[in-house]
Amino acid sequence: MRKTKTPRQKQILRMDDMCSEIIRRRAIARCGGCEYCLKPKTYSKLQCSHFIGRTNLHTRFDLENLIGGDGNCHMKMEHNPHEHEAWMIKHIGSEALENLIIRSRSTDKVDLDKIEAFLKESLERWRLEG
């Protein structure tokens, strides 16, 4: 990997940070902690877990693909794709999961600026919630 990051790489990292904050705030709002095991966790103990891996830019910033989980559950789900899939079906439903998979297989060019603008709006809303 090159030492200096390109503006695009910097933008992606900035967007990852925004997603992480949104998802952790959302997990606290949804269940007060880890969305996988439902144990109470503070904001700083939560991580942003991806169902479809980060290498896929089409779903890397897709909030439906992201789950706020603690470190243990995050690691466990990463190593158990079948369990992760079963959790997703239960959590968002098979129709939404299929639509997510379809989005992940898109061949459209990813418009990072457009997604970043949306993430900024979303983050402002979550921050208002406190």
CA distance 29 to 49: 16
Please say whether the beta carbons of 51 and 92 come within 8 A: no
Q: Which residue has the tokens 């158990």?
A: 80
Q: Which stretch binds Zn ion (CB under 5 A): 33-41, 50-58, 93-101, 104-112?
A: 33-41
Cβ closest to Zn ion, residue 91 vs residue 103: 91
Residue 46 touching Zn ion (CB under 5 A): no
CA distance 71 to 62: 21
In whole angstroms, how close is the CB of 9 to Zn ion at the nearest point?
A: 30
> What residues from 58 to 77 belong to the interface with Zn ion (CB under 5 A)?
70, 73
Binding residues with Zn ion: total (CB under 5 A): 5
What token pair was written down for 123? 């983050």
In whole angstroms, how close is the CB of 36 to Zn ion at the nearest point?
A: 4
In whole angstroms, how close is the CB of 76 to Zn ion at the nearest point?
A: 8
Cβ closest to Zn ion, residue 19 vs residue 73: 73
Give, for 46, the enclosing helix (H) or strand (E). Answer: strand 46-50
Give, for 79, the enclosing helix (H) or strand (E). Answer: helix 71-79
Please say whether the beta carbons of 66 and 48 come within 8 A: yes
Residue 34 touching Zn ion (CB under 5 A): yes
Residue 87 touching Zn ion (CB under 5 A): no
In whole angstroms, how close is the CB of 104 to Zn ion at the nearest point?
A: 24
**Closest by Cα among 63, 51, 55 to 101:** 51
By the criterion CB under 5 A, which residues form the site for Zn ion?
A: 34, 36-37, 70, 73
